[in-house]
Each structure stands twice: as C-alpha cells, then as structure tokens.
C-alpha cells in the first residue's frame, strides 16, 4: 500500500438478515484528509456498515477495498491501519483503564517502552490519569468512551472509524474531540464519523452520507444538503430526508405523558 | 509474546467471573480457594479412618472398599468440574465482547481461538488438578498404611487415583463444553442466546442437587460394578472412572501380603478376593468404555468448538443471554393475582425478574434451593419414592420440609441483600420516593409465594405417605413457618435488591454458627410439630403461634425501618 493511494472504497455493500436488507447497496469512498459524516436515524444501518468495514460482520454482498486491496471480511494489514470506536462501550470491566490499554497495545505488537509513554500522555490529556488504575467497572460512560478513543488512537491509524464517539462525553470533551478530529484530518488521516448529533457532523464533516432504512439517500457536501430544508438548517434537512416530523411526533409524546385519563 | 498475552487475558476472564459481585469478588475467590483445599483434605482424612482403624486389613477387603471411596472421589470430581464449567458458561467460548474488542485488532482469528482453547484447557486442568491433588497424595498412602512392603508400590496407586479422578473431572468439564457448543451449532446464535440462561440454570441446579446427594447416596457398597448389567444407570459414567482406578490399582493391591486372619475373616477375605478377580474383566471393559466415551465427548466438544469459532459472534443489540424463558409473562400473571398496589407490584416483579435475569442472583437462589432439595431427598426418601398410606410420621420427614423452606428463604435472602446493580440502585432510589414499605412488601410477597408453592408441591407426596389430614396439617404449619422465616430473613433489609451499600457480613464469617443453630432449631421444631400434628387443636395452635411470631417480627421490623426513614427525613 502506498501512502498516496490510501482510499477506502465501499462497493455496493449489502447485509441481509432473514431476507431483509438491513444495509442495501451502500457505496462510497473516503480519502485521506477527509471527514465523512455518516448520518441516519436509529436502526438505519449505520453501525452495521461500520461493523462490516471493520471486518466484525461479513457483508452478504459487495466489496470493501483499501488502497485498491480487497479487505472485505477483515484483513490483518488493514486492521493495523484503522482505529475503531464502537457505538457501545465494549470494555473488560475487570481490567483497569491502563491494563486495558496495555492489553490492546500488546496485541497490536506496539513497542512497549515508547507506547507506555504515549499511553501515559494520552491518559493525561484525556483527563483519565487519576482513574487509570481504577477498574473499568467503576468508570462513567464518558470515561469508558475516552478509554475507547485512546485505544483507537494510540497506534496512529491512517483511518479512524468513529461510531457515535461523543456518546457520554461532557461538553468540554466533545469540543476537544471535535478539534482532534479536525487536526487529524489536516494531518492526512481519513475519518468516518457516524453520529446522530447533526450539529457535530455539520461543524466537522467535509462530506455527509445520509442513510435511511439501510439505503444511502444523500451523499454530498454539507452545504448542498442544507438546501433541502427551507430554513437552511442541516437538522431540518436531515429530518426531511429521514421522513421524520419531529414537531408532530413531539406533540404526540407530550399528549401521552400529560394525558392521565 | 502476543499469544501469551492473550492466554493470560483469557485466563483472567475465568477468574474474574461476572457471577461474583464486584464488591466482594476477591473475598469470594479467597473463600473458594480455601474450600478447594480444605474440603477435599477433610473428606480424604475422614474416608481414610476406616483403613487406619482396621487392625487386620487384608488386600481383598481393601480392593472392594477403595472402590466405594473412589466412587465418591470420582463423582465429586466429575460434578464439581461440571458445576465450575457451568458457572463459567459465558467464558467457555469467545464472547460477543471479545469479538468486538479483539476482532478489530490485527490478530488472525485462528490465533485468538488457539489462545482461547489453550486458556480453557489450562483452566480446566488447573482446576481439576487442584481439586484432586490432596486426595491423590493422601488417600492411597493412608489406604495401605497398615501393610508393610515396598514404598515404590505407592507410585502406581497414586497414579491410578490421579488418572481416575482427573479423567472424571475432565469428563465433567468436557461434557458441559460439548453440550454448550453442540447446542450453539445446532440452534444457531439467536436461538441459543435466547435459551442459554434457562439451560445454564437447569444444569447448575441438577449438578448441585447431585453434588449434595453424592456423599450420602454413594457411600453404599459398589460390588454391583463387578457384574455386567447391574447398578443404577445414572452412576454408569462414574463407574467407568472407578473401574479405571480398580484396574490400575487392583493389580497392586492384589499382591499385598495377607495377614493371619481368623477363620471367619479369612473366608470373607477369600470371597471378596474371588469376587474382585472374577469382576476384573468387566471392570476392564467398563474402563475401556469410559476412555472411549471420554474420547468421543472430547472430539465432539473440540470439533463443535472450532466450528463455532470460525467466525466472530456479535450479540444482536438488546438481546440478553442471561434471561430465563417466559419470565416476563409468568411474573406479570403472578403479580396480577397477588396484588394491585403499584409499589408492591413493582417490588414483586423486580424480585422475580432480578432472580431470573441476573446471573449472580440466580446462582444464589439455585444453589440454596438445590441444597434444600438434596436434603429433602435424603431426609424423606420414603415419603418421596416409596409412599405408603397412613404410616407413622418420622421427624426426619417433618424436618425435610422445614430445611427445604429454610434453604429457599436463605437463598432469597442472599439474593435480596445484593443489589441488582449498584449504579441502577441510585437511580431507583430517586424514582422510588418514600414508598419503601410497599416495595419491601412486594419483595416479601415474592419470597412467600415461593414458600407456598414449595409447600403445595410437596403436599401430594406427604399425602400419599401419611394421608390427607396429616399432610394438610404439615402443609399449614409449613406455610406458617415459611412466613416466619421470610419475616426473620428480611427483617433487617432496608432496601431489598436496591441497596447501594454492600452487605458487611457474609455467610463465611457467621456461617458455621448459623448452620449449627439452624440444625438445633429445626430439630426442636420437628419434635414440636410431631406432637402438634396428633390433634387438630394442636396443629392449629402451633400454626397460629408461628403466624403471631411472624406478625410480631414484621411489626418490629417495619417500626425500625420507619424510625430509620424518619431519621433520614424520608417520611414524617
């Protein structure tokens, strides 16, 4: 793989469960330096696509290539090149934060000495230094998310796959994350940013894909998507695209809550 | 290096079991390790006394007697290993969590699977060896301590003990792995994860009942093993490993010197020796059958394991392997019948769903109920298996039900003292406002329902043994006593299932005292009950006394809880 050809390409990806297509014909490309927003309502197939990209799930149809090499279903060399933050904070609760990071570093075959310093520095910057020796079972959701972020970043990946990375983070940490993603992109890393927080995607991403019921309904830059809504807001455009009517839905919920009959 | 790291990590997973609550995980591990050493040690010495106290010990008698001991050693090794494998159910194979964490790292899948298998084999071997080490080193020398001869003869005896108990333990462990993997393979990921909790609970319950029963039911003669086609079917697997020991050790025991015996003992010795020698071909075939079945189980478990590990398995979101089938519907139905108050209903439903859905709570209740059932089977075998109408009531049969109810209440007490989830308990504390009394009532109602259900299910058995009137009296007293036990057991629990402070005293510190006191109280109650059951008035008076005592405990318990609530400003 040459450094200049590090493009992730997804070709007509399909995943079916019992005949039902949870992801249908998804195609896109992600180039170095690009931040691609991956938007969609709950259950639209965002996380499933990311799991297929990381090789956790095999697609029913379609192909994934990285630098022109087929990496569908997982490829050891490809796994060295990406970092992944899953949607759910999957961590071993009986390990401490540092033990978990040491485990991941060891399994990635990263040099012990330099890595120890790097882990310490990352723990410090993410505000986890004091809790590093505590058991993960005692961590808050935000602390778990930060641990996952450090694990995804510590080997300096070319490609960062983030599945709702802001989940559980406080406002300050979200701001840091936003800047971090931007800086990494400027330094040539490709970033796939799946989120349901439209504001984050709007501020960060150079390009956005909107998914609905497993299908790509829009693939374009943020400005072109804004034009879909009369107000020019990405949030409204997203609701329109996902065929959601937030105002009427909110009224219905309020009716259920306040109606005591 | 990477492989070693993975193996160490997977071994950690076996030790850091989800069943042990976080707060006292290391205390539980320490108690488990101490039990693993002390119980086999005491059992071995206890079982060896009969050899040391035999002044005229002869080879034939030793051959036959060691078979009985070996039956207990092999059965215990098999069942304890099976219990441990069941407790480690989730850690036996790569979990969805392993898949998500390790599946995205640059590790070949085969390397992860190999490391997992290596950790599994290491754990099983380490456990089986620890369990059997002391009996293996102590029992053979003690059985032949009265014989003079070459000390090197001990080597094959120790080896025979090690092979038979080791194989039995490995067989128990492998059977659980094979069952799990074959079910996974045949049913598929989704169906398997739906029924895994139910299967695991059923297995654990069965193994624990058999384990408690083993020392009592297996202490009889084992000469049935020497003839083809004899002996109970459920003992066949154990008999394979006992036969392995007999074949390996018997040849050594056979050449030990026979002391000068009186005529009667000499004739008996000759009879035993002849019986043993005649039985050797059958023992050899049993041993070979054992080796064959063991090989088949190992092959099945390894093949299914490797086949299942060909791809990573991710649990679909929201799907929980720990659920027991149909609990929601059953608990809803029970709650609708028993109460209409929302807070009471919440307590009752929370108890049922926590015990059914939370592995550690389920293990507490399962372990105690299994012990109770085993005691019931031991103490009242005639009432259960050979009912004859209208015969005198034995105290042991009365005590059996009381012990069963005590075990149930003790299991539920252990469960409700433990928070369903410490973090969730904080949220619950906010949602629950000040209605603690009704919530506690709901939890108690759940335990009382379990007590009543147990008494009702035992009623037909007692009725067949003693007649309807005797059984009805015993049932009424059982319900009243169960109610009292529930009140006593829950009296000092301020917030059942939602306490944010872990219990400070454990069964390990006060267990021995409690056990002794329970035995005395239960025997006294049994004697009083037998006297009370002779007349209707006596039965009614005894039941009423128990109910009044229960009401008094409830009154004072609630008064204390209210005083605490007032001091905390929760109620006025």
Give how far Cα A188 sits from Cα of A160, A183, B545, Å. Answer: 11, 9, 82
**What confidence tens digit (pLDDT) does each residue in B505-563 have?**
554 555 667 777 888 888 898 889 989 988 899 999 999 999 999 999 999 988 888 88
Q: Do A88 and B106 touch (CB under 8 A)?
A: no
Say what the pTM is: 0.82
Q: How many whole angstroms separate alpha carbon B246 and alpha carbon B492? A: 54
A137: nearest CA partner in chain B:
B22
Which residue in the set A58, A79, A103 is minimally distant from B104, CB to CB? A79
Question: Hey, of B105, B319, B500, which one would you mutate to test binding to chain A, going by the most A CBs within 10 A of its CB?
Answer: B105
B423: nearest CA partner in chain A:
A138
Nearest to B354 by CA among B434, B442, B429, B481: B442
> In this predicted structure, which of B130-139, B290-299, B366-375 has the lowest mean pLDDT?
B366-375
B17 interfacial to chain A (CB closer than 8 Å): no
Tell me whether strands A8-17 and A207-212 are parallel, antiparallel or unpaired.
unpaired
With 80 as the cut, is the pLDDT of residue B425 above it? Answer: no
Q: Do A56 and B9 touch (CB under 8 A)?
A: no
Q: How many whole angstroms separate alpha carbon B484 and alpha carbon B492? A: 14
pLDDT band with cut points at 50, 70 and 90 for residue B105: very high
With 60 as the cut, is the pLDDT of residue B566 above it? Answer: yes
Which residue in the set A79, A90, A137 is minimally distant from B22, CB to CB? A137
pLDDT band with cut points at 50, 70 and 90 for residue A3: very low
Distant-in-sequence, close-in-space partners of A76: CB < 8 Å, separation ≥ 6: B106, B107, B108
Number of C-beta neighbours around residue B175 at 10 A: 22
**What confidence tens digit (pLDDT) does each residue in B199-253 have?**
988 999 999 888 888 877 776 677 777 777 776 767 788 989 999 999 998 888 8
**Chain A residues inside the 8 Å CB shell of B314:** 51, 56-57
More confident residue, A247 or A152: A152
Hey, what's the torsion of the CAs at B374, B379, B380, B382, to 10 degrees?
A: 110
**DSSP bridge pairs for A195:** A39
Q: Do B107 and A74 touch (CB under 8 A)?
A: no
**Chain A residues inside the 8 Å CB shell of B99:** 56
B132 interfacial to chain A (CB closer than 8 Å): no
DSSP state of B569: T
B6 interfacial to chain A (CB closer than 8 Å): yes
Q: How many whole angstroms separate alpha carbon B553 and alpha carbon B547? A: 10
B101 interfacial to chain A (CB closer than 8 Å): yes
A22 interfacial to chain B (CB closer than 8 Å): no
Helix, strand, or coil (residue A208): strand
Q: What mean pLDDT is reported for chain A?
A: 87
Residues A53, A8 contacting (CB under 8 angstroms): yes
Q: How many whole angstroms separate alpha carbon B164 and alpha carbon B249? A: 10
pLDDT band with cut points at 50, 70 and 90 for residue B430: low
A102 interfacial to chain B (CB closer than 8 Å): no
pLDDT band with cut points at 50, 70 and 90 for residue B179: very high
Q: Retrieve residue A136's tokens.
A: 């993960």
Question: With a CB-CB cutoff of 8 Å, which residues 20-49 of chain B face chain A?
Answer: 22
Quote the pLDDT of residue B318. Answer: 40
pLDDT band with cut points at 50, 70 and 90 for residue A1: very low
Residues A229, A202 contacting (CB under 8 angstroms): no
Give how far Cα B337 sits from Cα of B345, B439, B440, B480, B481, Å. Answer: 10, 17, 18, 21, 23
Which residue in the set A80, A90, A94 is minimally distant from B100, CB to CB? A90
Q: How many whole angstroms separate alpha carbon A145 and alpha carbon A107? A: 20
Distant-in-sequence, close-in-space partners of B31: CB < 8 Å, separation ≥ 6: B508
pLDDT band with cut points at 50, 70 and 90 for residue B387: low
List of E strands, B464-513: none
Distant-in-sequence, close-in-space partners of B407: CB < 8 Å, separation ≥ 6: B368, B369, B371, B372, B373, B375
Q: Do A76 and B16 touch (CB under 8 A)?
A: no
* A-B contacts at Cβ under 8 angstroms: 63
**Chain B residues inside the 8 Å CB shell of A88:** 100, 317
Q: Do A107 and B22 touch (CB under 8 A)?
A: no
Residue B189's Cβ-count burial label (10 Å; 0-12, 13-18, 19+) is middle
Q: Retrieve residue B318's tokens.
A: 């929201």
Rounded to a whole number of angstroms, the distance from the CA of A226 to the nearest CA of chain B is 32
Question: With a CB-CB cutoff of 8 Å, which residues 127-186 of chain A face chain B?
Answer: 135, 137
Helix, strand, or coil (residue B118): helix
With 90 as the cut, is the pLDDT of residue A192 above it? Answer: yes
Residues B325, B194 contacting (CB under 8 angstroms): yes
**What confidence tens digit (pLDDT) does each residue in A203-236 have?**
888 899 988 888 988 888 877 777 776 676 777 7
Q: How many whole angstroms separate alpha carbon A138 and alpha carbon B22? A: 10
Distant-in-sequence, close-in-space partners of A103: CB < 8 Å, separation ≥ 6: A92, A95, B5, B9
**Confidence check on the interface: ipTM exceeds 0.90, yes or no:** no
Question: Hey, of B95, B104, B107, which one would you mutate to test binding to chain A, going by the most A CBs within 10 A of its CB?
Answer: B104
Rounded to a whole number of angstroms, the distance from the CA of A233 to the nearest CA of chain B is 32
List the Cα angle B452/B456/B458 in 5-degree steps: 120
């Amino acid at each position: 793989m040459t450094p200049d050809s590090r493009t992730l390409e997804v070709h007509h990806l399909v995943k079916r469960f019992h005949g039902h297509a949870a992801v249908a014909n998804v195609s896109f490309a992600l180039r170095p330096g690009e931040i691609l927003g991956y938007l969609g309502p709950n259950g639209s197939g965002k996380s499933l696509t990311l799991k297929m990209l990381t090789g956790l799930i095999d697609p029913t149809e379609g192909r994934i290539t990285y630098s022109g090499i087929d990496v569908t279903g997982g490829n050891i060399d490809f796994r060295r090149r990406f970092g992944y933050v899953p949607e759910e904070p999957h961590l071993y609760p009986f390990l401490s934060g540092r033990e978990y990071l040491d485990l991941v570093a060891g399994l990635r075959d990263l040099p012990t000495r330099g890595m120890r310093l790097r882990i310490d520095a990352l723990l410090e910057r993410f505000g986890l230094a004091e809790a590093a020796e505590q058991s993960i079972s005692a961590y808050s959701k935000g602390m778990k998310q930060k641990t996952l972020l450090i694990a995804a970043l510590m080997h300096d990946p070319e490609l960062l796959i983030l599945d709702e990375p802001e989940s559980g983070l406080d406002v300050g940490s979200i701001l840091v994350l936003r800047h971090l993603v931007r800086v990494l992109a400027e330094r040539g890393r490709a970033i796939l940013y799946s989120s349901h927080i439209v504001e984050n995607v709007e501020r960060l991403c150079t390009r956005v894909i909107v998914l609905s019921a497993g299908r790509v309904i829009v693939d374009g830059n943020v400005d072109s998507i804004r034009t879909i809504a009369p107000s020019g807001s990405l949030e409204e455009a997203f609701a329109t695209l996902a065929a959601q009517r937030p105002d009427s839905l909110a009224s219905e919920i309020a009716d259920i809550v306040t109606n005591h009959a | 290096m990477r492989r070693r790291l993975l193996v160490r990590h997977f071994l950690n997973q076996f030790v850091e079991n989800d069943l042990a609550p976080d707060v006292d995980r290391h205390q539980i591990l320490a108690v488990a390790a101490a039990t693993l050493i002390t119980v086999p040690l005491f059992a071995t010495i206890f079982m060896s006394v009969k050899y040391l106290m035999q002044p005229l010990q002869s080879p034939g008698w030793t051959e036959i007697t060691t078979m009985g001991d070996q039956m207990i050693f092999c059965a215990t090794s098999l069942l304890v290993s099976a219990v441990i494998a069941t407790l480690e159910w989730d850690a036996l194979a790569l979990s969805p969590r392993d898949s998500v964490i390790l599946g995205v790292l640059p590790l070949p899948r085969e390397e992860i699977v190999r490391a997992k298998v290596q950790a599994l084999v290491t754990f099983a071997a380490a456990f089986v060896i620890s369990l059997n080490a002391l009996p293996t080193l102590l029992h053979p020398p003690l059985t032949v301590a009265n014989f003079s001869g070459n000390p090197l003869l001990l080597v094959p005896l120790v080896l025979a003990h090690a092979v038979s108990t080791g194989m039995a333990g490995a067989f128990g462990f492998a059977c659980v792995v094979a069952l799990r993997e074959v079910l996974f393979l045949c049913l598929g990921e989704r169906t398997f994860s739906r029924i895994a909790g139910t299967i695991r609970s059923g297995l654990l319950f069965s193994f624990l009942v058999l384990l408690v029963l083993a020392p009592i039911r297996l202490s009889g003669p084992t000469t049935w093993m020497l003839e083809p086609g004899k002996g109970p079917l459920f003992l066949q697997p154990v008999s394979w490993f006992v036969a392995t020991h007999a074949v390996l050790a018997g040849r050594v025991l056979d050449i030990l010197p026979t002391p000068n015996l009186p005529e009667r003992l000499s004739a008996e010795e000759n009879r035993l020796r002849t019986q043993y020698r005649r039985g050797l071909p059958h023992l050899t075939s049993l041993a070979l059958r054992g080796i064959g079945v063991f090989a088949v189980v190992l092959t099945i478990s390894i093949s299914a394991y490797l086949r299942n590990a060909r791809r990573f398995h991710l649990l679909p979101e929201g799907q929980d392997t720990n659920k027991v089938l149909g609990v929601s519907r059953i608990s809803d139905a029970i709650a609708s019948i028993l109460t209409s108050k929302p807070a009471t209903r919440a307590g009752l439903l929370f108890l049922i769903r926590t015990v059914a859905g939370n592995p550690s709570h389920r293990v507490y209740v399962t372990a105690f109920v299994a012990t109770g059932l085993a005691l019931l089977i031991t103490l009242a075998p005639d009432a259960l298996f050979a009912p004859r109408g209208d015969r005198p009531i034995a105290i042991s049969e009365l005590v059996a039900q009381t012990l069963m109810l005590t075990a149930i209440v003790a299991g539920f007490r252990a469960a409700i003292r433990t928070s369903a989830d410490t973090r969730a308990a904080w949220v619950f504390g906010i949602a629950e406002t000040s209605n603690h009394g009704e919530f506690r009532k709901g939890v108690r109602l759940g335990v009382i329902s379990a007590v009543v259900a147990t008494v009702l299910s035992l009623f037909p058995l007692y009725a067949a043994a003693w007649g309807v009137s005797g059984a009805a009296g015993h049932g009424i007293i059982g319900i009243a006593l169960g109610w009292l036990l529930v009140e006593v057991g829950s009296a000092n629990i301020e917030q059942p299932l939602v306490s944010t402070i872990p219990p400070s005293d454990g069964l390990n510190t006060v267990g021995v005292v409690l056990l002794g006191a329970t035995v005395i109280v239960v025997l006294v109650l049994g004697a009083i009950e037998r006297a009370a059951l002779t007349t209707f008035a006596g039965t009614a008076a005894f039941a009423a006394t128990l109910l009044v005592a229960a009401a008094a405990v409830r009154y004072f318990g609630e008064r204390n809880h209210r005083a605490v609530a007032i001091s905390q400003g929760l109620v006025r």
